[in-house]
Amino acid sequence: MYKTPCCRLSGLVGLSVKQKLVLNVPQCNQSARNLIQLHRRDPSNWLTYQHLIFQKRQYVIKNSELHQRAIPKQAPALTIVNEREDTIERRVQRIPTIDPADRHTVSQPEDVNSEAQPGISTLKPVTEDAAEQRDSVSGQWKQLKVIVADLPDVYAKLAKIKLTALVVTSAMAGFAMAPVPFDPLLFFVSSLGIGLASCTANTINQYFEVPFDSNMNRTKNRPLVRGQISPLHAVSFALACGIPGVALLTLAVNPLTGFLGALNIFLYTCCYTPLKRLSITNTWVGAVVGALPPVMGWTAATGCLGQGALLMGGFLYCWQFPHFNALSWNLREDYSRGGYRMMSVTHPSMCKRVALRHSLGLIGLSTLAPVLDVTTWTFPIISLPINLYISYLAFRFYREGDRGSARKLFFCSLWHLPMLLLLAFTCKKPRRDPEDPPAASLALALQSSLPS
């Protein structure tokens, strides 16, 4: 009684599976015959064959040659954001511009006054860039050639060498502000390890963001987007920098600094990078990532976390908001096109408020430095003019909210941070060794040793 429905159901399932197999067998046989024919036709190029799809690019490896093809994408609509009204947005169709360098590809008829035959135009040979773009759109495979002479420049772009230099500089400032004797060898080793860790984080960040970087004018010329190297090559470079960097910080410096280096790579690649497309909290996570290098410099010198380490990290944390918010304000169209949820795109008013709030926070942190026994009381006084100036520019950015005020605030932040760290170093509180007796005790000892 209960077997009949089960038998019918199993019979229907078996019949459907049999029909699918009957339909797929001829296709499998045809594919097998095609592969055999290709091998017989040109066996030298088809001995090994591997097909890999990496995000929006397809790669084919035939022997030692690597070929790639970019999947064609639709022309996006440009989002125009009104600078005065945050609530008004208009979508217009982008009009392709003509590059002056490519104008020579199309020529006018030789005789303007003569009547040209309908349907016939005179064209010059297209350039290599135009041919490359035409082939990528039409779906043609392009051989991926790695030029050894270009590798240093490619590695520098993967590592974001300017950003890495800023990270190492802030770490050096944290090391120099530590109240311990200066060790040149430890200073060099810790700077090298922190720089390698930064190169790893920046490379992995670009590895994950290839499809989105290709939609942004600011990032469309990055090595992975242009196909200058393969994704496997970029990952290998990241591992070649990250593993020695973290090992160097852990074994040659101290385990605490090595842990902070690994934590910084994790926060940047696994937290900050995906959050850029999910929530505006990515800016605060990115500020924590930027605040860790001076803390790592302090721990590299002292081996422990202290109030001075948190103070140096606080300087970098507060500085990043006026710096990045001003930068992202003029890149709102790019971030919107790439699908990134930045404050300047989704919450423009908050973007301006946060920049002003943290600019004022720099004044408070400068006043807190002598209280924590890190600097003398001279530091809050001599750093007040530059802190007031960046706060004034942040206030103008908050009131006006245009490209000009954002640009001035951004360029001010570029020289404000090095100046602030330099002033803090010049006003560093003198170190007192605990084994040295106080001045009064030393004077008393000298007086007692004199003959009466």
92-102: burial string, b at 16+ Cβ within 10 Å, e else: eeeeeeeeeee
| Cα–Cα distances in angstroms (integers) from residue 273 to residues 161, 209, 385, in the given order | 18, 8, 36
- Say what the pLDDT of residue 337 is: 81
Q: What is the pLDDT of residues 166-179, one digit of tens each?
A: 999 999 999 999 98
pLDDT value of residue 35: 54
| Percent of the chain whose pLDDT exceeds 70 | 63
Mapped onto helix, strand or coil, the DSSP state of residue 79 is strand
pLDDT for the residue numbered 88: 43
**Residue 101: predicted pLDDT:** 53
Cβ atoms within 10 Å of 133's Cβ, excluding its own? 14
Label residue 88 left, alpha or beta by phi (over 0 means left) and psi (-120 to 50 means alpha): beta
3 state DSSP class of 324: helix
Cα gap 89→82, rounded to integer Å: 6
**Residue 28 confidence (pLDDT) above 60:** no
Higher per-residue pLDDT: 193 or 340? 193
Going by pLDDT thresholds of 50, 70 and 90, the confidence category of residue 32 is low
**Cα–Cα distance measured from residue 404 to residue 412, given in angstroms and rounded to the nearest whole number:** 12
Considering only residues 382 and 220, tell me which one the structure prediction assigns the higher pLDDT: 382
pLDDT per residue as tens digits for the range 242-256: 999 999 999 999 999
Catalogue the E-assigned strands of 313-439: none
- Number of Cβ within 10 Å of residue 136's Cβ equals 18
Interatomic CA distance for residues 393 and 408, integer angstroms = 7
What is the Cα–Cα distance from 260 to 262, expressed in whole angstroms? 5
All residues at 6 or more sequence positions from 451 whose CB lies less than 8 Å from its CB, including other chains: none
Q: Is the dihedral of CA 382, 388, 394, 397 positive or negative?
A: negative
Share of the chain above pLDDT 90, in %: 40
The residue that leads in pLDDT, 306 or 355, is: 355
Q: Give dist(CA 261, CA 255) in Å, integer.
A: 10
Determine the pLDDT at residue 223. 87
Q: What single-letter amino acid sits at 217?
A: N
CATH code of domain 145-305: 1.10.357.140
Q: Is 102 left (phi over 0), alpha (psi -120 to 50) or beta?
A: alpha
Res 304: pLDDT = 87
Q: What angle do CA 251, 200, 66 make, to 5 degrees?
A: 130
Same fold, 145-305 and 309-444: no
For the chain, the domains span 39-70, 145-305, 309-444
**70 has a pLDDT exceeding 60:** no
CB-CB contact of 238 with 154 (8 Å): no
* For residue 154, pLDDT beyond 70: yes
- Rounded Cα distance, 415 and 290, in Å: 17
Dist CA 67 CA 90 (whole Å): 40
Q: Are 229 and 210 in contact (CB under 8 A)?
A: no
What pLDDT band is residue 215 in, cutting at 50, 70 and 90? confident
- Please tell me the distance from the alpha carbon of residue 117 to that of residue 108, in angstroms, as a whole number: 13
* Distance in Å from the first CA to the final CA of the chain: 123
Mean pLDDT of 20-36: 57
Taken in order 310, 313, 317, 318, the sign of the CA dihedral is positive
Non-local CB neighbours of 2 within 8 Å, separated by 6+ positions: none
Give bridge partners of residue 61 from the DSSP assignment: 50, 66
Q: How confident is the model at residue 34 (pLDDT cuts 50, 70, 90)?
A: low
The per-residue DSSP string of 387-419 comes to HHHHHHHHHHHHHH-SHHHHHHHHHHHHHHHHH
Lowest-confidence pick of 118-132, 294-308, 416-430: 118-132
CATH of 309-444, one of 2.60.40, 1.10.3470, 1.10.287, 1.20.120: 1.20.120
449, with CB counted inside 10 A (0-12, 13-18, 19+), is exposed
pLDDT at 396 over 60: yes
Q: Average pLDDT in the 18-38 region?
A: 58
220 against 189, higher pLDDT: 189
Q: Which of 18-27, 144-153, 253-262 has the lowest mean pLDDT?
A: 18-27
What tens digit of pLDDT does each residue of 49-63 get? 344 444 445 554 454
Helices (H), strands (E): how many in the chain?
Answer: 19, 6
Segment 211-226 mean pLDDT: 83
Higher per-residue confidence, 96 vs 346: 346
Q: What rounded mean pLDDT belongs to the chain?
A: 76
Residues 311-336 have a mean pLDDT of 90
